[in-house]
Each structure stands twice: as C-alpha cells, then as structure tokens.
C-alpha cells in the first residue's frame, strides 16, 4: 500500500526552454514555493555565458553547479516533486535529451517577446517522440510581447502540438494587469515582486461580475470578456487525457521574475501532471507498483575530484522500492551489484538516503561499472527502452598526439563516452576513431578533460560527415553484403552496433535507394 501512495505523490518533470527564456528564474520560483529555498537568487544558472565559451575554469565550475542542481526535490501540497535540470547550452543538447527520458512530464518556457525559438523546437521533437505531456508557460508578460493569439498559433505550428490556454493575460508590458485563470475561474492581479510569493487570486464566479471592471478598468475587463468568449468558442474544452497523451499542451501566462503566474502554474501542474507510469523494457512493460525494484541510469557525472576517480550515476527509479545496501542485479554485465553510498537531492542539498520510490532520482557512487542506459533491478532481466543515442551533428577524427600515452587516451575516451560527453564511432578499417557531438564545445571539453584527468593529449581532425545511421535488416545476408560493399563507411558505436557513416544527404538517399533491404535509423533504438 505504501508503494501505491508514494507513487501517487510523485511528480517528476523537467523544464525546457531556449536559453534566456527564463528556465532558471522559473526553477527558482518553484523552489521558493516548495520551501526548498528561502530567498531569490539562490539558484545558480547552469548556463555557460557567451563570453565564457572557451573558459575552462568556467566549464569546470559549471560541472560543479550542475551536479548540485541536477535534481531538485521538494514537497508541495502533499506532493513530492522532482525537478530535473537540463543544460541550457545547446551544445549540451544530448544531455538534455537523455534527461528527458527520465521525466514523466515537461514544462516548456517560452519568451513572449521572442516566441518559439529553435532550441525549443528541437527539444519538443524529443518530447513528441516519447509522447511526454507538456505544459507551456509563456513568460515575461511584463514586457511588450507578441499578441497571445499569435503566440498560440506559432506554438501549434512550429511545435506541432495542439494548445489549450488555461489562463489568459489582461494586456501586457507596461499596462499588464494580470491573468484570468480559465481553469479555476480566478482573477490574479499583477503586482511585481521579485522576492515575495504571490497570493491566491480572487474567485470570480461569473466573467460578467463588475468586480473585474473595478479591478482592471472597464475597457480591459470588456476585452477580457471578449477574449474568454473567443477562447471558449475556438478551443475545444480542455481534456486532461489529451494532455496526458501528449496531444494537447495547456498554456499558462505569467512573469517568472516577478513571481507572477507561477503559483497557478504549480497548482495546476500538481493536479494535472502524471505520476510515474509503466515503462517498457526489452522484454515487457513494468508497472511502477510492481514490488520488485528496477530503474535505469540516464546520467553520469565523473571525476569531480581528479584525485578520486569516483563518479555519480543518476538512476531513475521506475518500479518498486529502492533500498540502500540491497543486493541488486546489473543487467548488462549479468552481475550482482550493491550500493552503500547513495544520495538523494532535496532542496539542493545532497543527503544520504536509505530508500527511494518510483519517480525518484538517486545518485549512486560508482567506480566505473555503470554506463548510461544500464538497467539495475531486483532480478528483472530486460533492459529499459527509450534511452537512445541520436545521430550527432559534428564529427571529428581523434589523432593521438602522444604515442606514450595511448592507453591513457583510450581509457579516457571510453570513460568520457560512458559519461555521455560525446559518442565514439570506431572504424574497423585502420582502427580509426571518430568522435561525434551535437555542439562544437564538447571537443574542447574532451581535450581539456583528457589532459587534466587522464594525462593524454589528442587533436581532432574535421571530417566531412552528414549523419551516423544505425543500420539493420530483416535479411542478415543482405546486411552482411551491405557492410562488405560499404566497409570504408562502416563503424561501430559504443555498444558494438553497426553504423553507416553518411557523407552527405544526397549520397545517403542514393544508398538508401540502392539498398532497399537495409533500414537506416537516426537513433540507436529502433
């Protein structure tokens, strides 16, 4: 019974946005409500400022901050909320994609001045792939932004998801009056406050109520009535199941920095957002309330202290109760495994925990046994699905600069890849190794860390590659023939899966046409 209750209490989610839309600010305000922090300004932004792009100390510092803010747990209105942080810098998008595999829902922050930006589009693609329920928060209403109807249309169009406003702004910018909650029919008047927590709104039984005219003035009140009528006419009634299925995104308006609209968002969020749901392994679907524990590793933080090669592996508990010190099963290596040093992340403090429930994230101290994507269980033999690698965008060949340190280079590269810093593709031909990343910054990070943590040095040689495509075929013979005929362009990923390294889009299309029996995939899971 305890298990079912604990599951029902959990809300595990991530906030995504284009940098600067207000993710850090919103995170901070949510933590204020949860009592996890007492003052504003306590959450450090984990974004790497533009001027610090190649400042190594800065990147190292960011790694430190990001381990502290990786997971922020707090209690609010009887719910246990786990907020997973995602890196804002687009070069670390792969990290964000992986974090999104560990959440049950997402809040997407959009800047009302800038609208939907490119990074949001990419992240939304990942949410769509997984059918993750999304709530939109349109931020910065204290600025002259775009017309709310335009913003909603843009979200539908660019993010390919239907929207349903659950609150509506009364003007914006200098004349911003507040928001009307269509969800629980309350009026919230805007009072800028960077430090205080907003009060409950005023309940308005009837939109015609003259109290609205008194509060915001007659013309704004009439505009609001028109808007509400239009919205109720144009948008179908909000259906929570459509949201839970990832088809409709409820939309809220507010101003995070002014702590406005945030409480409403949070109150609706804990009511609407899903508790942990069943998840699929290679063998079957596992419900969170199954008695036996299982979970998967989605993030690894390594070598925070270069003198101690310890790493923290972040596991998402999917089913059953996790207990510190218990004997578990490491599916990939087919071995028993025990964790005695386990931390949970509450209110930005790391604390030792003895147990965790589905939806929780715990940090396991590891000496190098764990990899991203690993499943740990109480006997379950299937590996959790849904933690794919995506084709990188930039590829460079590794050139060893110090032949005496070849072993160190290999070890360092392997460990950094296990940590998910980048992807390594090994060609049989000439034993060439190619690193693939989403952004350019990772190459500098890899070089720096190889040198400082492993004493190895390498160069990267640019390669003209378009995509890495994982290949498969129902016909084994055809696959072998393909590999033989294209052996110069075939590599293996970290798990030994076959990858076709395509040089250009046109060439890939041609190869696809010529080999209809081969399937080409842009993610490692198919």
Query: What sign does the dihedral 119-317-38-33 (CA atoms) show?
Result: positive
Strand partners, 467: 502
Length of the chain measured in residues: 526
* Shortest Å distance, C-beta 261 to ligand G4P: 9
Query: Is 326 annotated as ligand-binding?
Result: no
Query: Is 148 annotated as ligand-binding?
Result: no
* Shortest Å distance, C-beta 115 to ligand G4P: 14
Say how far apart CA 523 and CA 526 lie, in whole Å.
Answer: 7
Rounded to the nearest 10°, the torsion over CA 468, 474, 477, 481 is: -30
Q: Which residues bind ligand G4P (CB under 6 A)?
A: 17, 19-25, 45, 47, 88, 139-140, 142-143, 255-258
Query: Is 295 annotated as ligand-binding?
Result: no
* Shortest Å distance, C-beta 258 to ligand G4P: 6
- For residue 200, give both structure tokens: 């409950």
Question: How big is the chain by its Cα radius of gyration, in Å?
Answer: 25
Q: Which is nearer to ligand G4P, 21 or 106 (CB)?
A: 21
Query: Is 24 annotated as ligand-binding?
Result: yes
Query: Is 18 annotated as ligand-binding?
Result: yes
443: helix, strand or coil: helix
Q: Which is nearer to ligand G4P, 20 or 242 (CB)?
A: 20
Q: Which is nearer to ligand G4P, 255 or 415 (CB)?
A: 255
Say how far apart CA 470 and CA 523 lie, in whole Å.
Answer: 7
Q: Which is nearer to ligand G4P, 97 or 470 (CB)?
A: 97
* Shortest Å distance, C-beta 119 to ligand G4P: 10
Say how far apart CA 387 and CA 510 lie, in whole Å.
Answer: 30
Q: How many other CB atoms sit within 10 Å of the CB of residue 127?
A: 23
* Shortest Å distance, C-beta 23 to ligand G4P: 3
Q: Which is nearer to ligand G4P, 64 or 173 (CB)?
A: 173
Q: Which is nearer to ligand G4P, 24 or 101 (CB)?
A: 24
* Shortest Å distance, C-beta 143 to ligand G4P: 5
Instruction: Compute CA distances 337 → 303, 360, 376, 420, 431, whole Å.
Output: 21, 20, 8, 22, 33
Say how far apart CA 412 and CA 265 lie, in whole Å.
Answer: 44
* Shortest Å distance, C-beta 137 to ligand G4P: 10
Query: Is 111 annotated as ligand-binding?
Result: no
Query: Is 115 annotated as ligand-binding?
Result: no
Strand partners, 15: 107
HEC string of 109-122?
EEECCCECCHHHHH
Say how far apart CA 120 and CA 108 lie, in whole Å.
Answer: 8
Query: Is 86 annotated as ligand-binding?
Result: yes
Query: Is 139 annotated as ligand-binding?
Result: yes
Q: Which is nearer to ligand G4P, 123 or 387 (CB)?
A: 123
- Annotated binding-site residue numbers: 17-24, 85-89, 139-142
- Annotated binding-site residue numbers for GTP: 17-24, 85-89, 139-142
């Amino acid at each position: 019974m305890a298990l079912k209750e604990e599951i029902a209490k959990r809300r595990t989610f991530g906030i995504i946005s284009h940098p600067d839309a207000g993710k850090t600010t919103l995170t901070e305000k949510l933590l204020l409500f949860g009592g996890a922090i007492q003052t504003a300004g306590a959450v450090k932004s984990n974004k790497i400022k533009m001027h610090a792009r190649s400042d190594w100390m800065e990147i190292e510092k960011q790694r430190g901050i990001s381990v502290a803010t990786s997971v922020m747990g707090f209690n609010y209105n009887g719910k246990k909320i786990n907020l997973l942080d995602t890196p804002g810098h687009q070069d670390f998008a792969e990290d964000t994609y992986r974090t999104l595999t560990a959440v049950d829902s997402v809040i997407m922050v959009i800047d009302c001045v800038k609208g939907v930006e490119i990074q949001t589009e990419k992240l939304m693609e990942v949410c769509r792939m997984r059918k993750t329920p999304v709530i939109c928060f349109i931020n910065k209403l204290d600025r002259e932004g775009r017309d709310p109807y335009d913003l909603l249309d843009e979200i539908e169009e660019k993010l390919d998801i239907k929207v349903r406003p659950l609150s509506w702004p009364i003007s914006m910018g200098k004349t911003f009056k507040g928001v009307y909650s269509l969800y629980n029919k309350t009026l919230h008047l805007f009072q800028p406050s960077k430090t205080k927590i907003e009060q409950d709104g005023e309940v308005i039984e009837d939109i015609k109520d003259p109290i609205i005219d008194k509060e915001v003035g007659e013309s704004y009140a009439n505009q609001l009535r028109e808007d509400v009528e239009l919205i109720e006419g144009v948008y179908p009634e909000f259906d929570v199941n459509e949201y839970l299925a990832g088809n409709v995104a409820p939309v809220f308006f507010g101003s995070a920095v002014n702590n406005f609209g945030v409480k409403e968002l949070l109150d609706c969020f804990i009511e609407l957002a899903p508790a942990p749901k069943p998840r699929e392994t290679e063998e079957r679907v596992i419900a969170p309330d199954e008695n036996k524990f299982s979970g998967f590793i989605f993030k690894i933080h390594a070598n925070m202290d270069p003198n101690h090669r310890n790493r923290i592996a972040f596991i998402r508990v999917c089913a059953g109760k996790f207990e510190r010190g218990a004997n578990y099963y490491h599916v990939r290596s087919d071995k028993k495994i025990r964790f005695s040093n386990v931390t949970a992340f509450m209110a930005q403090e790391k604390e030792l925990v003895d147990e965790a429930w589905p939806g929780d994230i715990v940090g396991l101290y590891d000496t190098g046994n764990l990899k991203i994507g690993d499943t740990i269980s109480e006997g379950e033999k299937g590996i959790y699905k849904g933690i794919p690698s995506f084709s990188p965008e930039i590829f460079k060949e590794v050139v060893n600069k110090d032949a005496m340190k070849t072993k160190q280079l290999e070890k360092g590269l392997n460990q950094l890849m296990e940590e998910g810093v980048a992807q390594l593709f090994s060609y049989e031909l000439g034993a060439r190794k190619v690193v693939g990343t989403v952004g350019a910054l990772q190459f500098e990070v890899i070089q720096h860390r190889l040198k400082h943590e492993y004493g190895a040095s390498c160069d990267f040689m640019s390669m003209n590659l378009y995509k890495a495509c994982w290949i498969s075929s129902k016909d084994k013979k055809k696959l072998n023939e393909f590999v033989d005929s294209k052996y110069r362009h075939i590599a293996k990923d970290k798990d030994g899966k076959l990858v076709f390294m395509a040089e250009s889009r046109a060439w890939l299309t041609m190869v696809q046409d010529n080999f209809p029996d081969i399937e080409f995939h842009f993610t490692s899971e198919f």
